[in-house]
Structure 1
């Protein structure tokens, strides 16, 4: 195979940890991973970060740095049997580094198979995930791993990466490329090194060798749009597709919602990931305009986990259409964000005495719980009473949206609190 048939990210893949770009917080001179490697120590690790930031490459280079065998597996095509075979074949004297890409797709039995090997020191595990490991990796396995977050590459890192490629890759050097504008390269790569290099490779493939060639924004946009299938190969459209999916739900378009969901499923997206995103949308974009949306999304999430594909597509489709056609409201989403901001600014304010618990005699003597009015002792289970610190009296964080349920709820609240408002 000629070099030109090898993708550019592979042609210039870093050969040492010092060549890694954009992860200085982990691999810089005084950074934690660098210090551990300098001491010859490599614990089990979970790398959490978006695609194209070097998780696989860093795992390989870490193994090489401590002179350990490296075994790479994918959660997409590795079962419990294969895992146990790898573990059984690992040597006791020199445990291999076992890298598992997309470890969040391993089920409980697969993760349990890893747990025993990690506990006994038969392997050093390095897992890579784009999902929050606190939710996707079981707690026993997670507690035996160091979790490190990898960041998307910023514009400076992307530019540095591209300049390194232009200066080191034979194919690119022959084309004498000069980059006049970087904006489109930054936009299309979105912090993903692999995307940036693939796009650079695509643009360069249109150039002739032996003459100066210019790259500008217009050329990058034209090339990316004409070659979107090649450019986004291997599932790299992940974040664009899920963004279109969620925005279609928010925009109340069931047809577009189903289309983008189908695109994700056809591309091999984890159905549990899709169900989780709908669970979030049910609260963020629908909220109290239709509380049943959250219940249905929660049941969808559990059902998809229990059933699996291909039948899970039916459950996903039902939930997606329900969410897309539901009334929409982000009032509680906005309210909790405002509440968090206010809480950060006013964390010094004490809890009013009448709202405090008084489990001891001394606390009662100090006035804890005194003058608290128990709402259930009053008609309609409501009584006028202040629940905020005095300094925040009258603060309104929740603003209802214009939908039937929230309007009705507001009328009840206005009737309840009318006397208090008049007193103000």
Structure 2
């Protein structure tokens, strides 16, 4: 009887047993050929849980036959690092797999880095967080390979499950199991590309099933029950959460309702209502803007209602807001205008405020020359209201334009007014 979980027992023993990830470790890749020829570079593996980072490290170790040490940065201390360094002095070279590498502290890094640089320690770091955000640059610079692993496809997972069913040494091959191809497909498609979850479900469903005529008979309802909400992944503090926020905004910007609603649903299931509401409000003004100025207040009302309601009812006003933004005319002109002004200021394109615009609410302002301001409300111009021809920007940047209107939705009218006022100034 095995004590270890099936997912642990079925880890690939060499790189030829890796499921999926063919673009990274397939037989036609440089990394595969390097490892087969005995050269293992230090590397960082990045991706969601269960997609094979640890398995790939173990497979590389099995192929290379190097002394292999596995550590987790959440529980390892300086003494653990020193032990790895001592091992490298004895064996000449050690392959170190460091899980959750982004949690390594500076003291641990300082102990390890010289030996990684010298090649005495070959480092394979794994992280669920974006290494360009969460891994120290000193470690990144010493890793020749930084690879983002992808979630496994159902076909890859089918191969993993079928291998587990026939493997008599590590898998379930010694047990007579009646499981259909459709049931294996259901597991493969229900775990969102996570091999560990697929094997865990297979093991669990076998354990929960009854034996009939000397065979374990698998029933559909057991698989459905165990899969449950397993398709969700990520948390509200991880890189994947921010990737979902980015995907939501880009889908709204691209007017794709179905994609936007999908990413909204995923974000709400992960569960940070405040962050989602904040992003939606930013989107209303960044991406919809002046083309549909009524959308901003609508989204504000929706987000306030969502926070007041809480989940699950919050999904309703937020879905309204997302769909309205998808279908609204779009303009980023205001956002680009203020960014252009900020950029100009930071580049030193500034000047003195014109004297006629300076504060005059004190005795002596006239003596300083703070005079000459023309009050626009005193000179009405058609149905527009008050306007008068005077300059407002500093003299040095008098002719700079930061705003470029987008001819969309309501901004068409604003653009026409803008151009007409420019014409008045030229006259």
Which range, TM-score by smaller chain?
A: 0.5 to 0.7
Q: Does 1:376 align with 2:360?
A: no
Aligned equivalents of 2:285, 2:402: Cα separation in 1 = 29
What residue is the counterpart of 2:201 in the other structure? 199
Task: Please identify, of 163-172 and 132-141, the stretch whose mean Cα deviation from structure 2 is larger.
Answer: 163-172
Aligned equivalents of 2:241, 2:174: Cα separation in 1 = 37
Structure 1 stretches lacking a partner, 5+ long: 262-273, 292-320, 341-356, 358-373, 388-392, 401-409
Once the two structures are TM-superposed, the CA of residue 29 in structure 1 deviates from its matched residue by: 1.5
Structure 2 residue matching 1:157: 3-state secondary structure: helix
Aligned equivalents of 1:84, 1:125: Cα separation in 2 = 14
**1:384–1:417 Cα contact (<8 Å) kept:** no
Aligned equivalents of 1:92, 1:214: Cα separation in 2 = 51
Q: Does 1:10 align with 2:8?
A: yes
**2:100–2:126 Cα contact (<8 Å) kept:** yes
**2:205–2:218 Cα contact (<8 Å) kept:** no
Matches within 5 A, 1:202-213: 202-209=204-211, 210-211=214-215, 213=217
**Aligned pair count?**
310
Aligned equivalents of 1:191, 1:421: Cα separation in 2 = 57
**1:47–1:147 Cα contact (<8 Å) kept:** yes
What residue is the counterpart of 1:144 in the other structure? 142
Q: Does 1:153 align with 2:152?
A: yes
Once the two structures are TM-superposed, the CA of residue 185 in structure 1 deviates from its matched residue by: 1.8
What residue is the counterpart of 2:282 in the other structure? 287
Structure 1 residue matching 2:215: 3-state secondary structure: coil
Aligned equivalents of 1:420, 1:22: Cα separation in 2 = 61
Structure 2 stretches lacking a partner, 5+ long: 249-260, 262-266, 287-303, 311-316, 333-346, 348-390
What residue is the counterpart of 1:266 in the other structure? none
Query: Please, what is the CA RMSD of the aligned residues?
Result: 4.9
Aligned equivalents of 1:40, 1:219: Cα separation in 2 = 45
- CA distance 1:289–1:21, change in 2 (3 Å): closer
Aligned equivalents of 2:136, 2:53: Cα separation in 1 = 20
TM-score of the superposed pair, with normalisation by structure 2 = 0.58
Question: Which one of 46, 51, 54 corresponds to residue 56 of structure 1?
Answer: 54
Structure 2 residue matching 1:90: 3-state secondary structure: helix
**2:95–2:123 Cα contact (<8 Å) kept:** yes
- CA distance 1:339–1:121, change in 2 (3 Å): farther
- CA distance 1:223–1:58, change in 2 (3 Å): closer
- CA distance 1:418–1:185, change in 2 (3 Å): farther
What residue is the counterpart of 1:46 in the other structure? 44
- CA distance 1:170–1:238, change in 2 (3 Å): closer
Q: Does 1:220 align with 2:237?
A: no
Matches within 5 A, 1:196-345: 196-209=198-211, 210-211=214-215, 213-216=217-220, 218-225=221-228, 239=234, 278=275, 281=276, 284-287=279-282, 324=307
Aligned equivalents of 2:84, 2:225: Cα separation in 1 = 46
Aligned equivalents of 1:330, 1:113: Cα separation in 2 = 49
Once the two structures are TM-superposed, the CA of residue 133 in structure 1 deviates from its matched residue by: 0.6
Question: Which one of 93, 96, 99 corresponds to residue 98 of structure 1?
Answer: 96
In the TM superposition, what whole-angstrom CA distance separates every residue of 1:181-229 from its partner, at most 9, and x where no partner exists? 456424431100000111111111122342362453x43112344xx8x
Question: Which one of 31, 34, 58 corresponds to residue 33 of structure 1?
Answer: 31
Aligned equivalents of 1:68, 1:60: Cα separation in 2 = 11
Aligned equivalents of 2:30, 2:331: Cα separation in 1 = 35
Structure 1 residue matching 2:152: 3-state secondary structure: coil
Once the two structures are TM-superposed, the CA of residue 242 in structure 1 deviates from its matched residue by: 6.8
Q: Does 1:68 align with 2:66?
A: yes
- CA distance 1:376–1:55, change in 2 (3 Å): same
Aligned equivalents of 1:283, 1:412: Cα separation in 2 = 29
**1:49–1:130 Cα contact (<8 Å) kept:** yes
Structure 2 residue matching 1:52: 3-state secondary structure: coil
Structure 1 residue matching 2:234: 3-state secondary structure: helix
Once the two structures are TM-superposed, the CA of residue 65 in structure 1 deviates from its matched residue by: 2.1
**2:13–2:62 Cα contact (<8 Å) kept:** no
**1:47–1:149 Cα contact (<8 Å) kept:** yes
